Amino acid sequence: MKLEGLFTAIVTPFRKDGSLDEEGLQDNIEFQIKNKVDGLVPVGTTGESATLSEGEHKRVVEIAVEQVNGRVSVIAGTGSNNTTEAIKYTKHAKDAGADAALMITPYYNKPTQEGLYQHYKKIVETVDIPIILYTVPGRTAVNIEPETTRRLSELSNIIGIKDASGNLNQVSQEIMLCGKEFSVVSGEDAFNYPIIALGGRGAISVVSNVVPLMMGELVREALKGNHKKAKEMHYKLYALSKVLFIETNPSPVKAAMNMIGLAAGDPRLPLVPVKKESEEKIRKVLQDLDLL
């Protein structure tokens, strides 16, 4: 697949009793496709993969593939801090019909750069599916350094990286080191435009759960080199891109989705709904964008 454009890291909606809201997930997928996203990323960090059971994790991927039915790309989150488990989820994603797998760095156990390389190399050698690396050191306590990304980019089937490091120097090095066939995409919404302006190929976005059409316009105009319009959209969405991370993701984006009538529900423990004061700030930004 071609990793370029806007991909929404979709939330996993829950009912009031805490169970998986399958119909809500299907409705959200239709909302995203109607609003012209290029792809969907189920069971990533935003999809609360850490608190889904194995059965729920697999079911969300299956629902996404079935509901999308080939209309856009499906990139399944399959990462783990256990290489064997990551292989299991990646095999399932391939069997379910996903187009690619998004693989967060192993978290908590803090592997070395060589450990990271061997982790991804083992997965690539075991499962034949396009793989997108995902570095988000603020949540995992480990970063894929640019030289390691370069080494990994030379392996068959590793097609790109979602960079949520917040470090534009690192992004620049990734783009310089890894060649034209390797896609660097933004993993932090406030950096979507700057990363594309540097040569990135798009974004895997949390904010597009709420405003897929507007975020898609930002990404597409930036990719076309229409920097005037892309910059305009960047600043139009900047407050939303900040407020939806006012507390730990995905609690704020779920609050926003609930406000505008999309299926989300509450996050699962140990995450909790946003505080009242955060809710009021989110509501104000949504009102300013005429979303309420």
- Known catalytic residues are 134, 162
The secondary structure element, H or E, covering residue 135 is strand 131-135
Amino acid letter, residue 209: N
Tokens 């892309």, residue?
230
CA dihedral sign of residues 110, 112, 116, 121: negative
CB 186 within 8 A of CB 196: yes
Structure tokens at 1: 């697949």
Compute the distance between CA of residue 135 and CA of residue 145 in angstroms, rounded to an integer. Answer: 9
Terminal CA-CA length for the chain: 36
Q: With 0-12 CB in 10 A as exposed, 13-18 as middle and 19+ as buried, what is 109?
A: exposed
According to DSSP, the residues that pair with 134 across neighbouring strands are 104, 162
Q: Is the dihedral of CA 24, 28, 30, 31 positive or negative?
A: positive
Neighbours of 112 (CB within 10 A): 10
Assign 73 to helix, strand or coil.
strand
- Measured from the Cβ of residue 259, the count of other Cβ atoms closer than 10 Å reads 17
Question: What residues have CB less than 8 Å from 70, skipping those under 6 apart?
Answer: none
What distances in angstroms separate CA 281 from CA 205, 273, 275, one per listed residue? 20, 14, 10
Q: How many CB atoms lie within 10 A of CB 235?
A: 10
132 vs 135: CA distance, rounded Å = 10
